[in-house]
Each structure stands twice: as C-alpha cells, then as structure tokens.
Amino acid sequence: MDSYIPYGRQSINEADIAAVVRVLQSDWLTQGPMIECFENAVAQAAGAKYAVALSSATAGLHLACLALGIGPGDRVWTSPNTFVASANCAMYCGAAIDFVDIDRYTRNISIEALEQKLAQAELMGTLPTLLIPVHFAGLSCDMAAIAQLAQRYGFRVLEDAAHAIGASYQDQPVGGCHYSQATVFSFHPVKIVTTGEGGVITTNDEAFYRRLLRLRSHGITRNPDEMTQTSEGDWYYQQLELGFNYRMTDLQAALGVNQISRLKEFCSLRRDKVQYYLQKLPKDLIQLPKYSVESAWHLFCINLRNEKERKRVFDAMRLRGIGVNVHYLPVHLQPFYRNQGFNEGDFPCAESYYRSAITLPLFADLSLCNQDYVIQSLLEVLEIE
C-alpha cells in the first residue's frame, strides 16, 4: 500500500515517456508537427471537425470567450459548482458573471433553475450572451435542453468539459459540439488525460477555428488570404488583432497523443473503480453519486448525510494518508466574487452540496489494495462517533 493516496493522479507508461524523448531528440520542441497530431487525435476522440491545442484549459476558456465576441456589456452565466477558471474567463474579457444553481442529483447546472432565471432575466432585460455549462465530475449536462433554451433566449453555449474527455451524451462523445459553439478540455495531471499543463478547444465552425489559431499566437497570421495587403515576401506576417502566447509545446503534444490512445482504457478503469465503490460503500451514512456509463468519472464525490461530520471525516482520512479533497467551494463565495456582489444564500443547492461533499481517490492506476484501504478507512471513520 502507498503511504499517501492522492484523489487523482496521472498514469504514465513507457510509451508516454518514449514519445516525449523522441520530441527532445527532434528539431521541434514547439510549433512543430506534434501539435497538429495531437489536435487531430482530440478532434477524432471528441467527434469534432477542428481542435486547437493550448497551454491550458484556462487559456482555452479565455480565447473561446474572446472569439465568441464576449466583452464589456455582455453577461456570462456558469455553474457555481466548478473551478474558478469557468468564471474567470468572463472577467478577463470585461464581461459580467452570474451563476445558475445546481441540481443536487447531477451536481450540474439545474435546467429548472436555468429556465426560471432566464424567464426573469427576459423581463428585466438582463439575458446572458453566453452560458458555460460545466460537465461536473465527467457527467454531461443536459445539452439538448440547454440548446433549446439557447435558441429561445438567444445566447451561445461554451462547454467546460475539463472533466469530461471520454464522456458521452446521447451516445455521442462530449466535445462534438452538436449543442454548442465550442468545447474546452483540460489536460492537467489530475484530469483524465494529461499533457502536464494543456488544454484543447473543439469546434465545428471553421471561421471560429481560424480566429482561435490567430489568437493563440499574438493575433499574427501568415496566411495571405487573411492579410490586409499583399505579402511583401516569405518573411512577411501581419498582426491583425491583439492575441496571446497560449501555445502548447511539442513535448506536451507528443505526450498527449499517446495519452489519447489510452483514453478508452482510462475510462474503463475509472468506471470499474466507481462500480466497486458503489458496491462497497454504505448508503445510509453517505449519499453516493448516480452511476452513469456515459460519465468520464473524473471525480468520485460523495455527500455525508450529516454535514456536521464533514470536517472530522476529512481530517481523519487525511491522517490516514488518504488525499481526500472537496469539489467545489462555490465560486460565488470566493472573496473576489463576493466583491462582485455575490453572497451566501445566492445559490443554496451548490452551497448545501459543498457543505457535505468529500472527494475520494479515483484514478486509472488506483490499485485494488489502495481502494480497499480507502473504503475500510471511511467505514471506520464513519463509525467513530
């Protein structure tokens, strides 16, 4: 058994290592051929026409917002049960942020709450321009319902799928953008597939895709068709707008290509471990997540029936070397967002979910012996009054 079991971690095999070493021995550490290989691999896995590789999912959310035209005067709505990056991207663009409370069962944006908030916003003339649904823990939001509301109220949809590569919705992979303008994936080491740091935006819109490529690299183009005048020679390029350096390196992309080839295996290992937890954990003291074969199972989050026990259980598990965690502190209660006018009580389901939530270790290489230790420890800790 390991002396410390984290809640999530990468799985790196010999082929992953060899792929990175090959890039180190090649001519291109960045802006080389592995970027397109990785983009093609992600586009294929997600069932989208285009993919743009970036330095992080945070960069991806930022660029996608910019390319969707989000700026001052716009309202962006997202889930309070997410990592701060889902909201920060709106702030980078000078837009206003608001949240939609979650469904206690799926832990995703509640369609009911969304409908109510939209009806109210229509009366007040405060409809959002963009909604960023978050596929929490790898379970897709109800995208068909969201797309219907998007059509009716005239907002656009950007999927935060940082947790959800390998997930599906209505038998189609998440990231195919059938109900959204774009989808953003994260490849941070705690996520399902890793490139160290990294993110990808998928889309089916060619003009949007070309804009993202430009924004990723300073707003510069080398494509004569995009230039404002004829090229002066092979050295010539034009900066058309203010972009960034949000590029991924070829070292990361090569790791990503091999990791994506292991995606199905990762998801199936995660599903097996989830089923084992569901089979072994007691339903009287904890509320277990709903099983779904379509979830990518990035996280395994339970709720204690008695929220007053959360801190004690959390501390006792940590003392036993188990890296339990909590996902998520509601974003609107962060001091930065309280300063934007949000308060306790604004999104009661997300807040009450948070108060009793604990994330148990779940990752592809979690051994049976370690998982048994997590389960045994939790049972013991729960029984101590």
246 in contact with ligand PLP (CB under 6 A): no
Q: Is the CB of residue 44 less than 8 Å from the CB of residue 227?
A: no
Least distance in Å: CB of 213 to ligand PLP? 19
Q: Is 117 assigned a catalytic role? A: no
Catalytic residue among 117, 191, 283, 308: 191
Specify the residue, 143 or 281, whose C-beta has the smaller distance to ligand PLP. Answer: 143
Stretch that binds ligand PLP, among 54-62, 121-129, 277-285, 314-322 (CB under 6 A): 54-62
The answer to whether residue 86 forms part of the interface with ligand PLP (CB under 6 A) is yes
Q: Containing H/E element for 98?
A: strand 96-99
If DSSP codes are grouped into helix, strand and coil, which group holds residue 102? strand
Stretch that binds ligand PLP, among 27-35, 77-85, 239-247, 281-289 (CB under 6 A): 77-85
* Least Å from the CB of residue 134 to ligand PLP: 5
By CB under 6 A, name the one of 98, 142, 159, 160 that touches ligand PLP.
Answer: 160
* CB 303 to ligand PLP: min, Å: 19
Closest CA to 244 of 215, 210, 211: 215
Please work out, in degrees rounded to the nearest 5, the angle formed at the alpha carbon of residue 163 by the alpha carbons of 160 and 165.
Answer: 95
Q: How far apart are CA 11 and CA 95, in angstroms?
A: 38
- Position 110 contacts ligand PLP (CB under 6 A): no
- The answer to whether 133 and 146 are in contact (CB under 8 A) is yes
User: Residue 163 interacts with ligand PLP (CB under 6 A)?
Assistant: yes
Answer yes or no whether residue 134 interacts with ligand PLP by CB under 6 A. Answer: yes
**Residue 281 to residues 138, 250, 304, 311, 351: CA-CA distances in angstroms?**
21, 43, 12, 19, 24
Q: Using the rule CB under 6 A, is 56 a contact of ligand PLP? A: yes
CB 12 → ligand PLP: shortest distance, Å? 18
- Residue 372 structure tokens: 């048994």
Instruction: Please list, in sequence order, all residues whose beta carbon lies within 8 angstroms of the beta carbon of residue 282, skipping any fewer than 6 positions away.
Output: 379, 382
Amino acid letter, residue 205: D
Q: Which of 7, 38, 50, 83 binds ligand PLP (CB under 6 A)?
A: 83
Would you say 174 or 382 has its CB closer to ligand PLP?
Answer: 174
Residue 234 CB, shortest distance to ligand PLP, in Å, is 35
Spatial separation of the C-alpha atoms in residues 86 and 73, rounded to whole Å: 18
Q: Does 295 bind ligand PLP (CB under 6 A)?
A: no
Q: Can you tell me whether residue 182 is helix, strand or coil? A: strand
User: Strands 182-186 and 156-160: what pairing?
Assistant: parallel
- Token code pair at residue 327: 């996902």
Among 5, 57, 76, 274, indicate the residue that binds ligand PLP (CB under 6 A). Answer: 57
Decide if residue 35 touches ligand PLP (CB under 6 A).
no
Catalytic residues: 191
| Binding residues for ligand PLP (CB under 6 A) | 56-58, 82-83, 85-86, 134, 160, 162-163, 186, 188, 199
